[in-house]
Structure 1
Amino acid sequence: MHEIGVMMEVVKTVENFAKKNSITKIETLVLQIGELSSMIPRYIEACFPAAVDGTLLQDTKLKIEVLPGNAMCKKCNKVFNLIENNNKCPHCESREWEILSGREFMIKEIVAC
């Protein structure tokens, strides 16, 4: 599970941001995770308490927004969700597409008290 290492880096990044901006308490941390990324939201949630233990974020609430894994078909130019459609365009059944979104993993928002 590589999520714990990633979450520890997220905690370091948020703590550095907080220190630079004189923030002493963070209420909520919002992460965006794409459906096609290598991060699994439930594992991120499971790792969060261990990653924040003893840090500025230990009382912080974690929110995760899952971003859809969308692609555009190269044949008919329709946008569709890759997971829902089994990697095949639902309009023309082509398997030739370009990913538009879904690989993201980012800190969206830090809500300070």
Structure 2
Amino acid sequence: MHELGVVIEVIKTVENFARKNALTKIDTLVLQIGELSSMIPRYIEACYPAAVDGTLLKDTKLKIEILPGNAICKKCNKVFNLLENNGNCPNCESKEWDLLCGKEFMIKEIIAF
């Protein structure tokens, strides 16, 4: 489970941001995770409490937003969700597409008091 290591790095990043901006309390951390990324949201949620224990984020709520794995068809230019359509364009059934989004993993928002 590589999610724990990634969460620890996110925590370090947020703590550094908090120190630089004189934040003493963070209420919510919002992460965006693409549905095609290698991060599994339920694993992130599962390891988060242990990872924040003893840190500035110990009482912080975690919110995860899932971003769709969308592609654009090279033949007909239709934008579609890869997972929902098994990698085939629902318009022309082509398997030739360019990935638009879905591999993201980022800190979207740090909500502080």
TM-score (norm 1): 0.99
Instruction: Work out the CA distance in 1 between the residues paired with 2:67 and 2:56.
Output: 27
Partner of 1:48: 48
Instruction: Work out the CA distance in 2 between the residues paired with 1:95 and 1:47.
Output: 36
Partner of 1:77: 77
- Residues 24-72 of structure 1 show CA distances to partners (whole Å, capped at 9, x for unaligned) of 0100000000001000000000010011000000000000000000000
TM-score (norm 2): 0.99
Partner of 1:88: 88
Instruction: Work out the CA distance in 1 between the residues paired with 2:3 and 2:50.
Output: 11
Q: Secondary structure of the residue that 1:51 maps to in structure 2? A: helix
Runs of 4+ that moved beyond 4 A:
none
Instruction: Work out the CA distance in 1 between the residues paired with 2:73 and 2:26.
Output: 42
Letter in 2 for 1:54: G
Partner of 2:34: 34
Determine if the alignment matches structure 1 residue 64 to structure 2 residue 57: no
Letter in 2 for 1:8: I
Unaligned 5+ residue runs, structure 2? none
Sequence identity percentage: 80
Determine if the alignment matches structure 1 residue 101 to structure 2 residue 101: yes
Q: Secondary structure of the residue that 1:8 maps to in structure 2? A: helix
Deviation for aligned residue 1:8: 0.1
Instruction: Work out the CA distance in 1 between the residues paired with 2:84 and 2:61.
Output: 30
Instruction: Work out the CA distance in 1 between the residues paired with 2:50 and 2:89.
Output: 41
Deviation for aligned residue 1:7: 0.1
Superposition RMSD in Å:
0.3
Aligned length: 113
Q: Secondary structure of the residue that 1:42 maps to in structure 2? A: helix
